[in-house]
Structure 1
Amino acid sequence: MKKILVLTLFVVLSFGTVACSKKTSEEPDHTSHTDSAFMHVHGLGYSPDGKRLLIPVHNGLSVYADGKWSDGPGDKHDYMGFAAADNGFYSSGHPAPGSTYKNPLGLIKSTNEGKSITVLALEGEVDLHGMAVGYQTHTLYVLNPQPNSKMKRSGLYYSQDEGQTWTNSPMAGLQGQITAIAAHPTEKSVVVVGTTEGAYFSKDNGQTFTAFQIQHPVSAITVLNSGDILVATSGRDAKLFKVNAVTKQMAMIITPSQGGIAFIAQNPVSPEELAIVTEKKDVYITKDSGAAWHRVASKGVRK
């Protein structure tokens, strides 16, 4: 038991470090920030109707739709652990300057793309950098960095009632430091994670994990509507793989990314449309499952 607890603490704290590092590559500082630039990127997701790409960028949401960028509505909260679902998005992070919300936000939800938010749990207690949600099941998975009123120790937890109660998952079989996490859109017990050692699959809410045949550090991971999994590796030889959920066979998807991919999202209405954000804050979209890509932001500057 002691070995599991030590591993749990190690991987959670590591994810917090990696999550922060995803937002620091070649970023403008606060004094040079403009309305057309991302300061940080903290996630990626589509609106439920598939018409808008939503990117939390430290000061609220940046929205791409119909070939144009705009700022999302509502207060400019610093959303962390951003996770899109069919009923809106879930997140954590820090309140906007002048907000009446406690810092950190804990677990929050918005059903109107940030125009307003609802605090679900843990306001003023914890900032959850590592979070995933089942797109249709709404099962939440979080990497809890420290003890709080609902989670008595650090580690991987899941909730099926929007954060009112949480169950700890021991993560048996997991190796390395967690760098990415994603939930299956329709199967509430399936969660996948990327680590510094590779990619891992769980069908029991993270109680146990089995490894994919990817023995490289993982920078991003997501589960597609089909159940197949996209895994992005990091390092000089960074690649994007599609893993068959049944056979576990892998196929490489060619991307224009120079370096690692930080986040991946699939359009819920048009499954062939994918979006990626690189660690250099380039944003690309493909409408044909990766045959061709279109860059819509370069090094954090919106085109």
Structure 2
Amino acid sequence: MGLALIGLMLLTVLFFVWVVAIKRQIRTLKNVKRADDRERRVQLSKNLRLAKGGLVVSILLLVVTGSLSLIGINGKKEVYLEHVHGLGFSSDGKRILIPAHDGLKAYAQGRWETPEGAKHDYMGFSPVKDGFYSSGHPAPGSELKDPLGIVKSTNEGKSLKMLALQGETDFHNMAVGYNSHVIYVMNPQSNSKMDAAGLYYSKDEGGTWTKTEMKGINEEPTAIAVHPTEESVVAIGTPIGVYLSKDYGNRFEKVLSEGQTTALYFNKQGELFIGGYQNQAYLQKMDIKSKKTEKLTMPALTEDAITYVAQNPSDDGEIAFATFNKDVYLSNDKGLNWKKIADQGKTITEEKTEQ
């Protein structure tokens, strides 16, 4: 689209120059009585009409093409991230998916788009091997009960399977095992399946729930993540660090004390990614067996921090994260270099070079 605009601009300039040149030539023909001057004037007049026609057409094409580029490639509306309620990769690793208050947004090969499906306000967004689990609120005009309770999709939101607690509870702090599909939620209040607020887990798609003792944590949870294969392993972030449980959340051990924890994520290998803030934003990766951490290089964030982070299940080198200010970054080399793909909610599309 960018090269097309440049080409049309050059064409418009050429037609304009042609019109000006013909008019100058006509003005030099002063002797209308001479036959050759009259013939020359007639020919120049024809050329002038042709040049003016070309100029008008090129201007119209320029306006139309420019308008299309403003509203998006191929006439699609520009994608905007009104909110960022999560982040993850599609099951095949080809797309980054972000629930953005008005449905899912997807990024692939330098382009943003809005996938098919209702524009539900997803919360607790949790990608898994065969799709995603989520909570939240139904799209305006939807016949689904509000809140959604817990739902699952295996086709990037084109359709939803209702699992539990529709019309009862909206879970913001929720995580699901990537392979195990065990669901953990921080329940805000009692409902038909949970007697009180607290940390619960389900091994049967939300059919039954078990309340954990959650010993060792006194602070309000800020983030939660579940091991991809080990159902009993769950991590919780708080304003003062990270806690890890290996017994379904009954007892927690503090494994990191570096300021406020703002994001947690287990990759396919079971490594724990931690986003946090201590004087400045940081991103690190922990081996939960040895408790050793590795700080990852990340772009400087001004008065901002990571809210969600994910690694491509098909490509360990590809990592993405979102921030409180709705910036989104992507790395293709395990965090050595980053490119911004959204700036304060405004998505950034890469220009493709036309062949």
User: Which residue type is aligned with residue 245 of structure 2?
Assistant: S
Instruction: State the distance in 1 between where 2:151 and 2:78 align.
Output: 25
* Structure 2 counterpart of 1:112: 155
Q: Trace 1:105-144 onto structure 2 (pairs within 5 A).
A: 105-144=148-187
Q: How does 1:81-120 map to 2 (within 5 A)?
A: 81-120=124-163
Report the counterpart of residue 314 of structure 2 in structure 1. 269
Secondary structure of 1:206 counterpart: coil
Q: CA deviation at 1:235?
A: 5.0
**2:260 paired with 1:225:** no
Runs of 4+ in 1 over 6 A off after TM superposition: none
Equivalent residue letter for 2:325: K
With the length of structure 1 as denominator, give the TM-score of the two structures.
Answer: 0.87
Which amino acid is the alignment partner of residue 75 of structure 1? A
Count of residues paired in the alignment: 270
The CA deviation at 1:106 is 0.6
Letter in structure 2 aligned against 1:285: L
2-structure distance, mates of 1:156, 1:44: 22
Contact 1:93–1:106 at 8 Å: present in 2 too?
yes
Match 2:277 to one of 217, 234, 239: 234
Q: Distance in 2 between matches of 1:200 and 1:272?
A: 26
- Mapping for residues 37-52 of structure 1, pairs under 5 Å: 37-52=80-95
Output aligned runs, 1:158-177, within 5 Å. Answer: 158-177=201-220
Deviations along 1:119-141, one digit per CA (max 9) or x if unpaired, are: 10100001111110000000000
Corresponding residue number in structure 1 for 2:58: none
Distance 1:180 1:35 in 2: 31
Whole-Å separation in 1 of the counterparts to 2:315 and 2:142: 36
Partner Cα distance (2:300, 2:205) in 1:
35
The answer to whether the 8 A contact 1:82-1:89 is kept is yes
Q: After alignment, is 209-218 or 159-168 more displaced?
A: 209-218
Give me the whole-angstrom Cα distance separating, in 1, the residues matched to 2:89 and 2:334.
Answer: 16
For 1:144-159, list aligned pairs within 5 A. 144-159=187-202
- Structure 1: 5+ residue stretches without partners: 1-33
- Which structure would you say has the larger RCO, counting Cα contacts within 8 Å and 6 or more residues apart? 1
Alpha-carbon shift at residue 266 of structure 1 (Å):
1.1
1:59 pairs with 2:102: yes
CA contact (8 A) 1:286 1:292 kept: yes
Deviation of residue 214 (structure 1)?
2.2
In structure 1, C-alpha distance between the alignment counterparts of 2:278 and 2:268, rounded to whole Å: 28
Question: With structure 2 as the length reference, what TM-score do the two structures score?
Answer: 0.74
Classify the secondary structure of the residue corresponding to 1:211: strand
Distance 1:85 1:63 in 2: 16
Q: Hey, what's the Cα distance between the residues in 2 that align with 1:76 and 1:257?
A: 33
Which segment is superposed worse, 154-163 or 225-234? 225-234
2:104–2:119 contact (8 Å) kept in structure 1: yes
Structure 2 unaligned residues grouped into runs of 5+ = 1-76, 349-355
Asked if 1 retains the 8 angstrom alpha-carbon contact of 2:145 and 2:166, the reply is yes
User: Which whole-Å CA distance do the structure 1 matches of 2:82 and 2:137 have between them?
Assistant: 15
Please report how far the alpha carbon of residue 257 of structure 1 lies from its aligned counterpart in structure 2 after TM superposition.
4.5
Helix, strand or coil at the partner of 2:139: coil
Change in Cα spacing, 1:257 to 1:159, as seen in structure 2 (3 Å) is farther
Higher helix proportion (structure 1 or 2): 2
Q: Is the 8 A contact 1:238 1:260 kept in 2?
A: yes
Q: Does 1:256 align with 2:299?
A: yes
The one-letter code sitting in structure 2 at the alignment partner of 1:39 is E
Equivalent-residue separation in structure 2 for 1:194 and 1:167 (angstroms): 21
- Which one of the candidate residues 321, 326, 336 is aligned to 1:281? 326
The letter for the 2-side match of 1:232 is G
Residues 141-175 of structure 1 deviation map (CA, whole Å, 9 limit, x = unaligned): 00110100001111000001000000001110113
The alpha carbon displacement at 1:35 in A equals 3.9
1:191 maps to 234
Is the CA contact 1:175–1:195 (under 8 Å) kept in the aligned structure 2?
Answer: no
Cα distance in structure 2, aligned partners of 1:173 and 1:166: 21
Alpha-carbon separation, structure 2, partners of 1:70 and 1:54: 10
1:239 partner SS:
strand
**Counterpart for residue 301 of structure 1:** 346
Q: Percent identity?
A: 49
Partner Cα distance (2:241, 2:256) in 1: 8
Which SS does the other structure have where 1:271 is aligned? strand
Which sits farther off after the overlay, 163-172 or 246-255?
246-255
Cα distance, 1:254 vs structure 2: 1.6
